[in-house]
Amino acid sequence: MDFNRQNYTNEELVNIYRHLLLPRMIEEKMLVLLRQGKISKWFSGIGQEAISVGATMALLADEWIMPLHRNLGVFTSRQMPLHKLFMQWQGNKEGYSKGRERSFHFGTREHHICGMISHLGPQLAIADGVALAYQLRKENKVSLAFSGDGGTSEGDFHEALNVAAVWGLPVIFVIENNGYGLSTPVNEQYRCESLVDKAKGYGMEGVRIDGNNILTVFDTIKGVRDYCIREQKPYLIECMTFRMRGHEEASGTKYVPKELFEEWGRKDPIKNFEQFLTDQQVITEMQVAAIRNEFREYIDTELQQAAQAAEMIVDEAEEVRDVYAGKSGVGSLESGVKVIDTHHSPLTTNDSPLTTHDARFVDAIQSALRQSMEQHPNLVLMGQDIAEYGGAFKITEGFVEKFGKARVRNTPLCESAIVGSALGLSLEGFKSVMEMQFADFVTVGFNQIVNNLAKIHYRWGQNADVVIRMPTGGGVGAGPFHSQSNEAWFTHVPGLKVVYPATPHDAKGLLIAAINDPNPVMFFEHKALYRSISGAVPEEYYEVEIGKARLVKSGNDISVITYGAGVHWAMEYQEQHPEQSLHILDLRTLLPLDYTAIKEAVAKTGKVLLLHEDTLTGGIGGEISAWISEHCFELLDAPVMRCASLDTPIPFNMELEKNFMAKSRLGEYVQKLINY
């Protein structure tokens, strides 16, 4: 192995050696602890340390890194307290994730490290968002994300590289090519000659290097960092290496030919660099022994300190509270913003009367976005065709002229990468609103939403200040892939908030509240309501509180609990049947639910009809029905009934669609309850 000393001083070379050696010695200790049963799992990076250490040392301490399983050198090179890392790996409350995460599935804002999720690929797009934040602030910084050779097969790899190239972002993508994705060899992962060849396909530069040569890694990434900042472009680096242990210790290495261990054993990054330093008379064997003894004592001391961690005492209230960021875990209201109490009166605020004008639902959404962009200079809008074209529904028409393309960003067709980029923006204190062109397309970004956005605050205290706008619902003859009501998918996910307004007034106030909320919000907008309904909307910048239902109409016969288009179906039915008295509750927020308002609605009539456009099985109505049966049974005078759409995909033909819709059976269900 050839090392190019260049102009490094002896002190600098010894410093690099110390950074390289420490993670190896920690890992050797971890393998002992694993055999002793003191930790439950370990993903070894033995043999790959030069990549993590070289990359981290080449960056500034406040530049974000997105590591994976085998990147202990990132954590140690960022000078993280070892005893706290031990606590993390032991699952102690005093670790970085309060015992909620394993090994390297955690992050730390203090050290600018973003914790991974097991799906690997999503890390890359987060680096895009961080780099975009640097670029918007005109900071000379880069972000760096790791991928394994196996991870390059994921769609997230393609999406992240494509977005970085199209947007011209200063991101360094590092592939650790160690020959195997768990047990699958690279010849079963890809057919290109080398992974760096992929760079050209995205219009970016790339280089393939010896990942076991610490000076090569360090020098390369230092130079690439300068390039990315100077050119405002991404760069791909393929580091050739080998892991000398199993994917994780339990998986073993029987699938690896013995000769590979022998070959790569001769390329050990630490032994070779150590030999180079002694040959160059930078360091003596006695000094090497002294450093190793120093590290051994340091590791033992830190481990002893970690062993003194208190036993886990489960605090259920804390567990629930930490799912969300904000005051008491669920806070969303921004200081100084007008807050409207619309449970009974739509025009009462927390300080003064509001000036209103008649506006369509679509106009209310547009007003909320415009005023939020004016209120928050750090707010970025992202979505397909939202810039000059104004979006599929023309909601952002004219925004580019007013706010510029830096903040109103057209995206490639890659929902997962844009959700990930939104999370990356949040790491750097930006807000973002992403528009799913249709709610149906959210499936392509589902993993990022339910595993990254939703869980990140609970996992390591990092909030995700992201709103995803979801044009949803049928009634416009758009067929199975542009008309689904998929809100129930997300009400099952702790950490998300799910908002679904029915009126222009609530659409504006709730969208502003969602943007002000530090948590990820899925904001559903019914397409059929965009231009079909109007109402009084305040001109001012105001919030409607998330998590509060609205009493639409007081009645005595049946309580109809609904949201979205269902509110208008219920009102229309009431107008057509004045002889019946419906008590209509608009939920507005589906996660968290307003259980107080639900119980009041049950108590008012004793008969409850749950109405929603979503299909029956697995819809939110089933959850609410179960809650009412458990908590309000004594208030009921009849079984709780659900009126929902058919358990079929939503059809294209308008007559078939009308039959599909819950609205077509509303009268039947009301009559059943009346007659019970």
Predicted confidence at residue 348, as pLDDT, reads: 43
Which of these ranges, 90-99, 244-253, 256-265, 477-486, has the smallest mean pLDDT?
A: 244-253
pLDDT digits (tens, 9 = 90+) for 535-567: 999 999 999 999 999 999 999 999 999 999 999
| pTM of model > 0.75 | yes
Give percent of the chain with pLDDT exceeding 70: 97
pLDDT score of 328 more than 80? no
pLDDT digits (tens, 9 = 90+) for 3-48: 999 999 999 999 999 999 999 999 999 999 888 888 888 888 899 9
482 in catalytic set: yes
Cis peptide before 234, with omega less than 30 degrees from 0? no
pLDDT score of 82 more than 80? yes
Give the CATH number of domain 550-675; options: 3.40.50.920, 3.30.110.40, 1.10.150.130, 3.10.270.10: 3.40.50.920
pLDDT band at 352 (very low <50, low <70, confident <90, very high): low
pLDDT score of 347 more than 60? no
Structure tokens at 302: 């830190």
Cβ-contact 21, 271 below 8 angstroms: no
Predicted confidence at residue 335, as pLDDT, reads: 60
Sequence-ordered list of residues with C-beta below 8 angstroms from that of 383, at least 6 positions apart, any chain = 391, 396, 409, 410, 411, 418, 434, 435, 436, 437, 469
Predicted confidence at residue 37, as pLDDT, reads: 86
pLDDT digits (tens, 9 = 90+) for 484-508: 999 999 999 999 999 999 999 999 9
pLDDT score of 231 more than 80? yes
Query: Does the domain made of 10-307 have the CATH classification 3.40.50.970?
Result: yes
pLDDT band at 240 (very low <50, low <70, confident <90, very high): very high
Sequence-ordered list of residues with C-beta below 8 angstroms from that of 417, at least 6 positions apart, any chain = 124, 125, 128, 156, 159, 160, 162, 163, 411
pLDDT digits (tens, 9 = 90+) for 358-375: 999 999 999 999 999 999
Measured distance CA(194)–CA(528) in Å, rounded: 50
pLDDT digits (tens, 9 = 90+) for 153-179: 999 999 999 999 999 999 999 999 988
pLDDT score of 53 more than 80? yes
Q: List, by residue range, all CATH 3.40.50.970 domains of the chain.
A: 10-307, 327-544
Q: List, by residue range, all CATH 3.40.50.920 domains of the chain.
A: 550-675
Sequence-ordered list of residues with C-beta below 8 angstroms from that of 290, at least 6 positions apart, any chain = none
Predicted confidence at residue 331, as pLDDT, reads: 46
Measured distance CA(480)–CA(56) in Å, rounded: 48
Q: Out of 83, 105, 457, 482, which one is annotated catalytic? A: 482
Beta bridge partners, 466, equal 432
CA distances from 17 to 11, 127, 217, 340 (A): 10, 28, 13, 61
Predicted confidence at residue 246, as pLDDT, reads: 80
Predicted confidence at residue 329, as pLDDT, reads: 45
Measured distance CA(516)–CA(333) in Å, rounded: 7
Give the CATH number of domain 327-544; options: 3.30.1180.20, 3.40.50.970, 3.10.50.40, 1.20.1250.20: 3.40.50.970
Predicted confidence at residue 38, as pLDDT, reads: 83
